[in-house]
Amino acid sequence: MLSIDMPALPERASAPVLEFIPVYQPHFGGREKEYVNQCLDTTWISSKGEFIGRFEAGFAGYVGARHALSVCNGTVAIHLALHALGIGPGDEVIVPSLTYVASVNPILQVGATPVFVDSDRHTWQMDPEDVRRKITPRTRAVLAVHLYGLACDMAALTSICREHDLFLVEDCAEAFGTRFEGCHAGTFGDVATFSFFGNKTITTGEGGMVVTSDDKLKDRLYHLKMQGVVPDREYWHDEMAFNYRMTNICAAIGLAQLEQADDILARKRLIAGWYREGLHGLPLVLHAETPGTVHSFWLCTIMLDDESLRQPLRKHLFAQRIETRPTFYPCHTLPHYAKPGGSTSNPHPNAQWLSERGINLPSYPGLTEAQVQAVCAELRLFFSKP
């Protein structure tokens, strides 16, 4: 269960306090316990066991990639992908500023330089035209982030990368179930990464996946995530590599989650529909699909017309035991990415505009229609106040 920095909950004299509604909680409605108990009963609890292969094969088939390699979390998935592509010191990687910091930190970790681009105010995704403007002779890759479950404009981004001979990496941490022109997010670029943290659409607790349809890149990714051990000589490691393996227990949970994926995604679309109906006419916009996309609605997110109302609205909801999250800070404003002595002008105005107005609402699959209606009723009450 997630938490936010808010004061202690007050009692409301005029009405009973609602049951606490968190932003997110995992949905375990399948064979999770059965599969985990199989791991315990067989003692295969670490990074070997049948569930790892089963989860990887099932995931690759679900998203439509040739290969899927499980890793211990979504952040190392990005680091592994960049390292396997040979990106390092002197290279630039173009990335949206409006994203979670885990999309950007691995660029620094491989010694490369993140180059931030602005967002499209309508879709909230990275702006392809700004990508074009930011390409230099040092650019090696574009890292596309499918924010909050909506796909980037992959037609434009793939065209740009082909034109300039750049790697295309997709960060699909928030985009399991997301599609663009009929294809699953993560199948457009050279390599893609997924996260299975506890607040993701399917979860393994902590975990991630790297997917690719490139056979040679798959071999490189596997070698690097397994400490660089060679296949024909025990305990012989031919380079500095990483221990990024997933445990069999996590894979067991992941397989059980994958078996329910269609039902979970359908439930989240239903919840988004309830919000769309319940919030109609209020001074806000609910993040929605664009033509040619399927939104997975990882989080149902609203953008307020007036940014000054965001924190008062969040406090109002929290007083009624409804948890929310703000949208991400633009990464170019974070201390370790802000340029000292730089210009006071805002180089990414849309990212800033979106960041200041966005609120993530409760979005977990177990939400009932009555709970969503209660959240919508509190939003309406807030906006009805003089």
pLDDT digits (tens, 9 = 90+) for 193-231: 999 999 999 999 999 999 999 999 999 999 999 999 999
Return the H-helix or E-strand segment holding 55. Answer: helix 50-63
Query: For residue 10, what pLDDT band results from cuts at 50, 70 and 90?
Result: very low
Domain residue spans in the chain? 32-118+125-259, 261-384
pLDDT digits (tens, 9 = 90+) for 356-372: 999 999 999 999 999 99
More confident residue, 24 or 10: 24
* Cβ count near 195 (within 10 Å): 28
pLDDT of residue 2: 41
For the chain, the residue count is 386
pLDDT of residue 5: 46
Checking DSSP bridges between strand 208-212 and strand 179-180, what pairing results, if any?
unpaired
- Tokens 């040092």 -> residue: 138
* CA-closest candidate to residue 146, choices 272, 294, 277, 17: 294
Q: Is the pLDDT of residue 16 over 70?
A: no
Cα distance between residue 341 and residue 142, in whole Å: 27
pLDDT digits (tens, 9 = 90+) for 52-67: 999 999 999 999 999 9
Specify the CATH number for 261-384; select among 1.10.3720.10, 3.40.50.2300, 3.90.1150.10, 3.30.950.10: 3.90.1150.10
Would the CATH topology of 32-118+125-259 be identical to that of 261-384?
no
Query: For residue 9, what pLDDT band results from cuts at 50, 70 and 90?
Result: very low
pLDDT of residue 338: 87
Query: For residue 341, what pLDDT band results from cuts at 50, 70 and 90?
Result: low
Region 270-291: mean pLDDT is 98
Mean pLDDT score of the chain: 94
pLDDT digits (tens, 9 = 90+) for 72-100: 999 999 999 999 999 999 999 999 999 99
pLDDT digits (tens, 9 = 90+) for 313-331: 999 999 999 999 999 999 9
Say if CB 12 and CB 320 are below 8 A apart. yes
Q: Is the pLDDT of residue 1 over 90?
A: no
Cα distance between residue 198 and residue 208, in whole Å: 11
The encoded tokens of residue 377 equal 């009723």
Region 4-24: mean pLDDT is 59
pLDDT of residue 339: 77
With 0-12 CB in 10 A as exposed, 13-18 as middle and 19+ as buried, what is 350? buried
Region 121-140: mean pLDDT is 98
Region 281-299: mean pLDDT is 97
CATH number belonging to domain 32-118+125-259: 3.40.640.10
Q: Is the pLDDT of residue 345 over 80?
A: no
Share of the chain above pLDDT 90, in %: 92
Query: For residue 13, what pLDDT band results from cuts at 50, 70 and 90?
Result: very low
Q: Is the pLDDT of residue 4 over 90?
A: no
Torsion of CA 83, 252, 148, 134, to 10 degrees: 10
